[in-house]
Amino acid sequence: MDRLIDGWGREIRSLRVSVTDKCNFRCRYCMPAEGLEWLERDELLTFEEIARLVRVLAAMGVDEIRLTGGEPLVRRDLPVLVRLLAETPGVNDLSLTTNGVLLDRLAEPLVEAGLRRLNVSLDSLSHVRFAEITRRDALDRVLAGLEEAERYPELRPIKVNCVAMRGFTEVEVPALAELARRKPYVVRFIEFMPLDADESWRGDDVLSGAEIRALIEERWPLEEIPAKASSTARRFRFADGAGEIGFINPVSEPFCSSCDRIRLTADGQLRTCLFSRKEWDLKTPLREGASEEELERLLRFAIAHKELKHKINEPGFVRASRSMSQIGG
Ligand code: SAM
Ligand code: SF4
């Protein structure tokens, strides 16, 4: 079958699937403290509906699937979906992004179901500051979740993601860099993007990857590791050989020209960019009995219209139509 190519010649290989808009944290850079309305249960795609769309996309060359949310581990029976997707022909890389708070219980069933890669979000190793940023006192549970994940050698690499915010993250950098040296975790810093529900983002709040790298190199020199062209992260090893650090710099070094990603929201809308203002409804055709060919045609049409790039750094930038937890980061 023909590969999926967008209107700018980029091949689409990667799908982020949001399985819920709900979350047990309220991270400041993502959700409001309260007041976000949840989707109704029947608005969520079922596991079978998600698996059907993944089958259609995998036949067109989408071989990398990442589950996300909201917090994906609050979706009941998630390992059932992981198994369905792990068994889908063409899916070579199945991963999960989580805040880690339920991982101590779920790592084992997820690995048994076929999960092979894991990203855990962690912004601070201080209890007080962790609670300040997530609005939940749950650092110990996240660390316990990471320890539990470490017990499964199948789950590698384990990536730890930290959103880099000026005025907050600078003091966290040494401890997070040490974590990358001490543990089998790749610690990655992601520049803060204007996807917070509170809409408080300002350009000055972005702590760039280059600034964090300079902070780390005051103590530990880094060496760049060549990465895949479609990779969102620049990878570095510590020059003395202990551990790996990554930088995801969507604001200071946009990587849109090599973007191979699309996103499926929990309510079955296809988004061709994190910053899309338009969504493509897949749930209605799925529920109205669309054939594989009809779904394929709809997907190809939507992807032909994928945005060239985000416009965060341009005058008149307009925010996305939903915030991060509702899209699926
Ligand atoms: N709840 C899970 C978690 O936190 O890992 C999965 C969903 S979360 C929306 C996915 C990723 O998006 C997390 O690594 C989170 O830190 C990141 N994120 C959320 N809001 C962001 C923002 N405004 N800018 C950059 N990254 C953000
Ligand atoms: Fe929840 Fe993840 Fe958003 Fe934090 S970043 S509020 S854990 S969805």
- Residue 243, by phi and psi: left (phi above 0), alpha (psi -120 to 50) or beta? left
Residue 5 belongs to a domain: no
20, 28, 31: which to mutate for ligand 2, most atoms within 8 A of CB?
A: 31
142: Cβ contacts below 8 Å, ≥ 6 apart: 99, 100, 101, 103, 120, 122, 130
Cα 123 to Cα 162: distance, rounded to the nearest angstrom: 5
Instruction: List, for residues 184-239, the tens digit of each pLDDT value.
Output: 999 999 999 999 999 999 999 999 999 999 999 999 999 999 988 778 899 999 99
Lowest mean pLDDT among 14-18, 169-173, 231-235, 286-290: 231-235
Q: Kindly tell me the burial class for residue 284, based on how many C-beta atoms sit within 10 Å of its own C-beta (0-12, 13-18, 19 or more).
A: exposed
Reported confidence tier of residue 130, pLDDT bands at 50, 70, 90? very high
CA 241 vs. chain centroid, Å, equals 27
Residue closest via CA to ligand 1's atom 20 equals: 30
Instruction: List, for residues 56-106, the tens digit of each pLDDT value.
Output: 999 999 999 999 999 999 999 999 999 999 999 999 999 999 999 999 999
Q: Which atom of ligand 1 is nearest to the CA of 119?
A: 5
Radius of gyration of the chain (CA): 19
Cα 309 to Cα 299: distance, rounded to the nearest angstrom: 19
Residue 9 belongs to a domain: no
Range of the domain at 178: 14-327
Report the domain count for the chain.
1
**CATH code, domain carrying 97:** 3.20.20.70
Cα 225 to Cα 150: distance, rounded to the nearest angstrom: 23
CA dist 227 → 43, 195, 231, 232, 246 (Å): 38, 26, 6, 9, 10
Residue 121 belongs to a domain: yes
Residue 4 belongs to a domain: no
Residue 329 alpha carbon to ligand 1 centre in Å:
5
Residue count (the chain):
329
Instruction: List, for residues 268-285, the tens digit of each pLDDT value.
Output: 999 999 999 999 999 999
Lowest mean pLDDT among 14-28, 40-54, 309-323: 309-323
Residue 88 belongs to a domain: yes
Residue 75 belongs to a domain: yes
Which pair of tokens denotes residue 141? 């549970």
Residue 84 belongs to a domain: yes
Residue 30 belongs to a domain: yes
**Which of 266, 267, 249, 239 is CA-nearest to residue 310?**
249
Amino acid at 297: R
The pLDDT value given to residue 329: 84
